[in-house]
Amino acid sequence: MNSQEFIEMNKKGWNDLIKANKPFSNTILPEYGPFLKRNEDDINILNNVKGAKILDMGCGEGGSLEYLYNKGALEIWGIDISEEQIKKAKSKFPQFKDNFIVGPMESEINIPNNYFDYIISIFSIGYTSDLYKTLLNANKYLKEDGSLVISWTHPFYYCLGVVDDKVVVSKSYFDENSEIITKGPDKVNLAQKNLMISTIINTATEAGFYVEKMYEEETIMKDDVNGYKSNFWKKEKTINCPSTIIIKFRKLN
Ligand SMILES: C[S@@+](CC[C@H](N)C(=O)[O-])C[C@H]1O[C@@H](n2cnc3c(N)ncnc32)[C@H](O)[C@@H]1O
């Protein structure tokens, strides 16, 4: 699948999901990912939000930005590939409606450079067709010393399966090819990549970041997400491996 096909599949998929009113599963701040015991209120990764300018890459309907705005952020911006979700974000924040932009985060987009204190991307980064271009863009938009915080499915969790109640490695950790997954009860197609942790860190370094801190948080032992039982988010797996990886990067000066 080439980049254009990858982007088109995800644009359609996310528009369909939002039209069908399928809620996200714990991927909106203060939550960093499914089943985590601690959230932003507990960990305080974004520790200086008051008065901050914040951009969300893959902002959805703006739920994470709403949380940060309520905590005192001064200015909020969002990019999302899905026009349906951007419509909802704009109606949530009429005062910032010009700051919500439809487009892929890996493309050149008219967003101010050297401007943001924080960029967040909560469970969206694995949907980019080009991690390097996405991180270069983030680096360009951030102020000197600004932070980028990403969360995504833990790359090792992604490789685990369950057979007869036993956890097995069902996919190679080394396989970084794009893959079509289905999401939610309606089985909407989405394309994503499971990148190795070293790929994420090394790509970020090449794009001008260093790692300030990485989090592999414990999970609670549940096996449904808001009442929906998934084949992917399973108690047997979350007992053995973090569901989510969270990385806080800083822009290199
Ligand atoms: C799990 S949701 C994240 C929700 C978000 N964290 C929030 O606070 O609501 C993933 C989002 O990534 C968006 N997305 C997928 N591919 C994208 C891309 N290439 N560029 C920008 N957004 C993208 C989807 O439209 C969707 O809104």
pLDDT in the model for residue 224 = 60
35 pocket-lining for ligand 1 (C-beta < 6 Å): no
What was the pLDDT predicted at 222?
62
Instruction: Count other C-beta atoms under 10 Å from residue 247's C-beta.
Output: 21
Nearest atom of ligand 1 to the alpha carbon of 127: 16
Are residues 54 and 73 in contact, defined by beta-carbon separation less than 8 angstroms? yes
Q: What is the pLDDT at residue 238?
A: 87
Please tell me whether the overall predicted TM-score, pTM, comes out greater than 0.85 for this model. yes
- From the CA of 163, how far away is ligand 1's center (Å)? 31
Ligand 1 contact, 82 CB (< 6 A): yes
Range 3-251 has CATH code 3.40.50.1100: no
Q: How far apart are CA 32 and CA 244, in angstroms?
A: 8
Q: How far apart are the first and last CA of the chain?
A: 36
> Which one of 61, 67, 80, 149 would you pick to mutate in the ligand 1 pocket, going by the greatest count of ligand atoms within 8 A of its CB?
80
105 CB within 6 A, ligand 1: yes
In tens digits, the chain (253 residues) has pLDDT values of: 899 999 999 999 999 888 776 656 688 999 999 889 999 999 999 999 999 999 999 999 999 999 999 999 999 999 999 999 999 999 999 999 999 999 999 998 999 999 999 999 999 999 999 999 999 999 999 999 999 999 999 999 999 999 988 999 999 999 999 999 888 777 889 999 999 999 999 999 999 999 999 999 998 866 565 665 677 888 888 888 999 999 999 999 7
Residue 48 confidence (pLDDT): 93
Evaluate: CB of 89 within 6 angstroms of ligand 1.
no
CB of 119 within 6 A of ligand 1: the answer is no
Whether 55 and 78 have beta carbons less than 8 Å apart is answered as yes
The 10 Å Cβ neighbour count of residue 172 is 9
Q: What is residue 206's DSSP assignment?
A: H
- Supply the pLDDT for residue 17: 85
Instruction: Give the per-residue pLDDT at 22.
Output: 60
Pocket residue to mutate for ligand 1, from 14, 17, 25, most atoms within 8 A of Cβ: 14
- Classify strands 116-122 and 53-57 as parallel, antiparallel or unpaired: parallel
Q: According to the model, what pLDDT value does residue 246 have?
A: 98
The pLDDT of residue 239 is: 86
Per-residue pLDDT, 245: 98
Map tokens 């080394």 to a residue: 174
* pLDDT at 227 (0 to 100): 62
